[in-house]
């Protein structure tokens, strides 16, 4: 059963229509995404890295905030599905003011585009666009403000499942600037929904959002005790701009207390894996020995990210095709 | 019979070689473009929005003036024809000075490009490029200065024909800043050539170009009387920069006298359609009630714009293929 | 036999793995590149300018220095080989500092990209990237600092072979700013390796790099005597910024002494060809009469540039495919 909020993301037959946030998606659907991604994980290793699934579909990268890395992964995923891709850099000034943004949407819809990948500095932007998009359009959230980055969270879940098999026995620590992270919220929702045994937040007091415990996590301020016996250690990227304010003393001091080194990682399970969404701030949130070490699965996350994006794109466009055919 | 000036756009067998301006094209050719677009109008609604007509052709978006919207429509049209597209943003400073522009053309020709879509701030730029291009190149004018924007005019004609069937009984009003519009000149030529019963210009005195009556139009300065009994109301976009000079008092005052509202539209025929090239300045040249109302065909114009661009692209490249085969 | 340095560019079976510089490649391999380009030279003239050789491969234009012209030629070559292309403009500030660049490479590798086309303002950047790239990646140097621009040099060799047949009897003059040219070094290596009878440098003293004679060239400071009896005249582009320093008096004076005119060209062989990598500075290093004259092969160089890039791209990716199959 989906919660009432899901009617935006899920159609009447339980199919994924938009992919906006992990919140509101049930376990079955998350597992379905992971299983679909499994079928795409091998495509990147073939000689011909293309499947014809979305041939003749038009996918628009609608980026209101620049992000070469995220744009690149969605563009690659779309091209490997044989879709046509349009890259549009929408400046916030000209298009986010109410009706003007809607006119932009209406225009792209009239061109018979099939999907918008939305990246926006404001929380809720992708939901706003999905609510106002024409029925034939799917919207994928490529990161909105501090709110959500659901494809990043799902590629993390895919990585964990590939490395650890099952979630039910796992202790997971999320380490770093949870307060300003669009990824952390999505990760917590996904881990809780997939039934992880324990989810911990490890961060200085200034970087823990108030009331986070209500999401089903415990909070630690000491790195060594926070990592104790964990199977999965997920690091967050520390945004440089945070360190210029009053929230943090210096990147050097941050590294001293919260930077993950092999020595501090010693309290985790011996087969623990270390994850990071990239790009890395080496010597700030992560030591190079850890980033390049045997327990790091950071580059596998990148590979799996293409498979996850291929999965949600093909599922979302597939839901429209199924609706057109009258499937139920 | 084509006028002597047509030898640039039309080849010896009457086929469209370049598409630079409506001026100089006869009725038969305009109807041919509309009929060809008709065959593409359904492609955008198919599951696979692609036809293989221009596979292996190279189309260059050669934009000397930025325009995301126009660039996007041509890029989409080219991709749906299966062509390869190169986007080149040519800064005016480095390439418009005489020989330097010609060297750019020669270089792209030597790379075996097949078509240039030219957008330029100077009137006549597309003609200049067509006159100096190699015989195997087709040039499409994507808007040059205040001179012409012929694909916009033809998508307008396509929209009118789809909604109204025949031109011969139609009264058409073009409302707004005719003096600075590249679209209006192209629209007037097209409407007169296609045999519209009456074409009116409705604008304040400061925005009517001198001698416009010689193009076969009547001039109105009052909106209500200008719209009386019209079947088609074409609004022009008011460029913001015009309102900073002495030509116009303020956008508020412009709206009061020339902004089209449901109330002012009451003098038009009850089944009149309202058109606008976009993007809309809501509350300036058009009221939201009209823009989003039942008589607005603004979004259909956008859809048809892809079909028209596919039509002129395939016709122009086809003329070269026919010439190569020695067809006559 | 390859010199020890070649192990980076050449695999154990003598196949081209990366294409970084002419230096270190033997005559057999250069001839192999020219022969392969010969097979692609006709593709640009076909109705369908595409071959399916690299379908499903992902090629990244990784440009740390902007260059529309070079980016365009590689993009076109990749698309005509049916590859998918990603354009990434990497700003020097964020990615060239040691590990950060390596993290960018690791990330693109994890996305299963197959080839990087590298353009960089620093000499040696392409070699650095090739040395640190994963085994499945090929690197093509698209110009690095003052060091090398090997695809430009090879398209020049292709042009010479097409026009003159054989290198062994040729007298070749390279005229202009050799000191700051990434192309000149590559050209000299290629000409010497392919057995040109004589290679001359013609330049003012301030623009001749010290010790250039050790590369097997003679140095001339007088244009007329430098061009005497030459079969091939290769002009270099004079960078405008050079003329602002103390190295050169003015572009006017440069033209007077080193600008190639029909009159100064009179000492060359009557069937000499004139080459230039573009873009031209007309009236500085070359007179328009020469650039547009019967002996100019400048536009053919551009055409052949696509064929050469198709050749090195397909050879480099082919070497990996062969290695995967275990060919020897």
User: Chain B: which residues have CB within 8 Å of chain A?
Assistant: 44-50, 68-69, 72-73, 75-76, 79-80, 278-280, 282, 288, 299-300, 302-303, 305-306
B88, C80: Cβ pair inside 8 Å? no
Name the residue among A56, A99, A111 with its Cβ closest to that of B303. A111
**Prior bond of B74 cis (ω within 30°):** no
pLDDT value, residue C244: 60
Is the torsion defined by CA of C198, C199, C203, C209 positive or negative?
A: negative
Task: Express each pLDDT in A76-93 by its tens digit.
Answer: 999 999 999 999 887 644
Q: Are A84 and B76 in contact (CB < 8 Å)?
A: yes
pLDDT at A72: 93
Please say whether the dihedral angle defined by the alpha carbons of residues C263, C268, C271 and C276, taken in this order, is positive or negative. negative
Pick from A143, A78, A149: nearest CA to A114: A78
What is the distance between the alpha carbons of residues C81 and C311, in angstroms, rounded to a whole number? Answer: 10
- Of C46, C79, C305, nearest to B84 by CB-CB distance is C79
DSSP string, C126-149: HHHHHHHS-TT-EEEEEEETTTB-
Percent of chain C at pLDDT > 90 equals: 74
Chain A residues touching residue C110 (CB < 8 angstroms)? 299-300, 302-303
Q: List pLDDT tens digits, range A126-146.
A: 999 999 999 999 999 999 988
Helix or strand (DSSP H, E) at C72: helix C68-80
Whether residues B275 and B316 share a domain: the answer is no
- Is residue B249's pLDDT more than 90? no
Q: What are A100-112's pLDDT values in tens digits?
A: 888 999 999 999 9
Running DSSP on this structure, what letter comes out for residue A138? E
Whether residues B140 and B8 fall in one domain: yes
Does residue A244 carry a pLDDT above 80?
no
In the prediction, which pLDDT does C5 show? 54
Does residue A298 sit in the same domain as residue A159?
Answer: yes
pLDDT tens digits, one per residue of B256-308: 999 999 999 999 999 999 999 998 999 999 999 999 999 999 999 999 999 99
pLDDT digits (tens, 9 = 90+) for A27-72: 999 999 999 999 999 888 888 899 999 999 999 999 998 888 899 9
Q: List all chains that touch chain C, counting a touch as 3 or more CB pairs closer than 8 Å.
A: A, B
Checking if the pLDDT of C203 tops 80, the result is yes
| Residue C209's pLDDT band (cuts 50, 70, 90) | very high
Pairing of strands A58-63, A84-89: parallel
Spatial separation of the C-alpha atoms in residues B253 and B245, rounded to whole Å: 14
Residue B141 pLDDT > 50:
yes
Strand order in the sheet with B232-235: B218-220, B198-202, B171-175, B232-235, B273-275
Residues of chain C with a CB closer than 8 angstroms to some CB in chain A: 55-58, 84, 86, 88-89, 99-100, 103-104, 106-107, 109-112, 321, 324
- Ordered DSSP codes for A91-113: -HHHH-STHHHHHHHHHHHHTT-
**Residue C99: pLDDT above 60?**
no
Dig out the tokens for C75 from the structure: 């993009």
Q: Verify whether the Cβ–Cβ distance A56 to B75 is below 8 Å.
A: no
Nearest to C49 among B86, B89, B112 (CB): B112
**What value does the mean pLDDT of chain C take?**
90
Min distance A318 CA to chain B CA atoms (Å): 11
Render the burial of A300-328: b for 16+ CB within 10 Å, e for the rest: bbbbbbbbbbbbbbbbbbbbbeebeeeee
ipTM of the prediction: 0.90
The region of weakest confidence among A252-256, C77-81, C183-187 is A252-256
Tens of pLDDT along A168-203?
A: 999 999 999 999 898 999 999 999 999 999 999 999
| Residue indicated by tokens 């050469």 | C308
Total count of domains within chain C: 2
- C-alpha to C-alpha distance for B33 and B14, rounded to whole angstroms: 13
Q: Which residue has the tokens 């499942």?
A: A161
Q: Which of A302, A305, A307, A308 to mutate to test the interface with C (most CBs of C within 10 A)?
A: A302
Lowest mean pLDDT among C12-26, C106-120, C235-249: C235-249
Looking at residue C246, its pLDDT comes to 64
**Min CA distance, A164 vs chain C (Å)?**
20
Q: Who has greater pLDDT, B94 or C69?
A: C69
Q: For position C242, what pLDDT does the model report?
A: 59
Considering CB atoms only, which of C89, C103, C109 is closest to A280? Answer: C103
Q: In this model, does residue C98 exceed pLDDT 50?
A: no
Neighbours of chain A (3+ CB pairs under 8 A): B, C
The confidence band for B47, taking pLDDT boundaries of 50, 70 and 90, is confident
- For C291, the token pair is 């650039």
Whole-Å CA distances, A187 to A36, A193, A218, C149: 19, 10, 14, 46
CA dihedral defined by C2, C8, C12, C16, rounded to 10 degrees? -80
Which pLDDT score is estimated for A45?
A: 84
Residues A193 and A121 in one domain: no
Residue of C299, C294, C298, C308 whose CA lies nearest to C236: C298
Cβ-nearest to C45 among B107, B112, B321 = B112
* Same domain, residue pair C95 and C217: no
Q: Are B122 and B180 part of one and the same domain?
A: no
Output the domain CATH number for residue C207.
Answer: 3.40.50.1370
State mean pLDDT over C268-277.
97
- pLDDT confidence of residue B96: 42
The pLDDT assigned to A243 comes to 57
Residues of chain B found within 8 Å of residue C76, distances taken between Cβ atoms: 58, 84, 86, 111
Contact C306 B112 (CB under 8 A): yes
**Is a pLDDT exceeding 60 seen at residue B3?**
no
Binary contact (C86, A69; C-beta < 8 A) = no
Residue C321 has a pLDDT of 75
Give the gap in angstroms from C-alpha C6 to the nearest C-alpha of chain B: 31
Token output for C214? 């050790």
Same domain, A25 and A123: yes
Answer for the pair C69, C125: CB distance below 8 angstroms, yes or no.
Answer: no
For C146-156, how does the pLDDT look when each residue is reduced to its tens digit (9 = 90+)?
A: 888 999 999 99
Q: In which band, very low, low, confident or very high, does the pLDDT at B207 lie, cut at 50, 70 and 90? A: very high
Shortest Cα distance, chain A CAs vs residue C254, angstroms: 43
Q: Give me the mean pLDDT over the A94-99 stretch.
A: 48
Work out the widest C-alpha separation in chain C, in whole angstroms.
Answer: 59
How close does chain C come to B55, measured CA to CA in Å? 6
Contact B302 A107 (CB under 8 A): yes
| Interchain CB contacts (distance < 8 Å): A and B | 58
And the tokens for C47?
Answer: 């109705």
Q: Name which residue leads in pLDDT, B156 or A44.
A: B156
Q: Mind telling me how many Å the CA of A113 is from chain B's nearest CA?
A: 9
CB–CB of C280 and B112 under 8 A?
no
The whole domain housing A279 covers 150-302
Mean pLDDT confidence for B235-262: 81
C256 plus C289 within the same structural domain: yes
pLDDT the model gives residue A242: 59
Say yes or no: C175 and C298 in one domain: yes
Query: Is residue B125 located within the same domain as residue B227?
Result: no
Determine, for residues C56 and A48 on separate chains, whether the beta-carbon distance falls below 8 Å: yes
A100 CA to chain B: closest CA distance, Å? 8
Q: Hey, are the CB atoms on C112 and A50 less than 8 Å from each other? A: no
Q: What does the pLDDT look like over B166-190, one tens digit per residue?
A: 999 999 999 999 998 989 999 999 9
Residues B66 and B26 reside in one and the same domain: yes
Q: Do B72 and A86 touch (CB under 8 A)?
A: yes
- Interface probe for B, chosen from C299, C300, C301 (most Cβ of B below 10 Å), is C299
Q: Which chain B residues contact residue C46 at CB under 8 A?
A: 56
Contact B72 A103 (CB under 8 A): no
- The tokens describing A103, both together, are 């006119």
> Of A183, A185, A163, nearest to A236 (Cα)?
A183
Query: Which residues in chain C have their CB less than 8 angstroms from residue B58's CB?
Result: 49, 76, 79
**Phi/psi class of residue C274: alpha, beta or left (left: φ > 0; alpha: ψ in -120 to 50)?**
beta
Question: C27-40 and C298-325 helices cross at what angle (nearest 10)?
Answer: 110
**Res. A226: pLDDT tops 80:** yes
- Residue C264 tokens read as 């100064």
Nearest alpha-carbon partner for C183 in C201, C165, C166: C201
Question: Cβ contact (<8 Å) for C84 and A76?
Answer: yes
Q: What angle do CA C67, C69, C74 make, to 5 degrees?
A: 95
Whether residues B197 and B231 share a domain: the answer is yes
Q: Are B22 and B153 in contact (CB under 8 A)?
A: yes
**Can you tell me the distance from the alpha carbon of A126 to that of A19, in angstroms, rounded to the nearest whole number?**
9
* Min Cα–Cα distance to chain C from B110, Å: 5
Please list the residues that pair with A154 across neighbouring strands.
Answer: none
Which residue in chain B has the smallest CA separation from A56?
B48
Judge contact between A304 and A37, C-beta under 8 A: yes
The reported pLDDT for the residue numbered B242 is 59
- pLDDT tens by residue, B56-107: 999 999 999 888 889 999 999 999 999 999 998 876 444 444 458 889 899 9
Q: pLDDT at position A6, please?
A: 77
Residue A126 φ then ψ, to 5°: -65, -40
């Amino acid at each position: 059963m989906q919660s009432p909020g899901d009617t935006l993301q899920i159609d009447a037959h339980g199919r994924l229509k938009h992919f906006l946030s992990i919140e509101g998606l049930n376990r079955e659907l998350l597992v379905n995404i992971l299983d679909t991604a499994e079928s795409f994980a091998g495509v990147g290793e073939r000689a011909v890295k293309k499947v014809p699934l979305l041939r003749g579909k038009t996918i628009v990268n609608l980026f209101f905030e620049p992000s070469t890395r995220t744009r690149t992964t969605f563009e690659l995923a779309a091209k490997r599905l044989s879709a046509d891709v349009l890259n549009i850099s929408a400046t916030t000034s000209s298009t986010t003011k109410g009706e003007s943004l809607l006119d932009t949407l209406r225009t792209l819809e009239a061109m018979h585009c099939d999907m918008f990948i939305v990246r926006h500095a404001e929380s809720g932007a992708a939901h706003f666009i999905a609510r106002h998009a024409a029925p034939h359009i799917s919207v994928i959230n490529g990161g909105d403000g501090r709110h959500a980055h659901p494809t990043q969270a799902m590629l993390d879940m895919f990585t964990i499942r590939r490395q650890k098999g099952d979630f039910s026995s796992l202790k997971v620590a999320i380490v770093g600037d949870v307060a300003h992270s669009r990824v952390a919220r999505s990760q917590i929702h996904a881990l809780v929904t997939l039934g992880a045994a324990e989810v911990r937040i490890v961060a200085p007091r200034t970087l823990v959002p108030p009331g986070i415990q209500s999401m089903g996590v415990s909070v630690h301020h000491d790195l060594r005790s926070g990592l104790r016996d964990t199977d999965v250690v997920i690091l967050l990227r520390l945004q440089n701009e945070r360190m210029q304010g009053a929230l943090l003393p210096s990147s050097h001091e941050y590294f001293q207390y919260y930077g993950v080194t092999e020595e501090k990682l010693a309290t985790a399970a011996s087969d623990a894996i270390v994850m990071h969404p990239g790009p890395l701030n080496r010597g700030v949130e992560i030591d190079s020995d850890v980033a390049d070490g045997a327990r790091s699965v950071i580059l596998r996350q990148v590979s799996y990210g293409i498979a996850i994006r291929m999965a949600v794109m093909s599922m979302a466009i597939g839901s429209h095709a199924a609706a057109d055919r009258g499937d139920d």
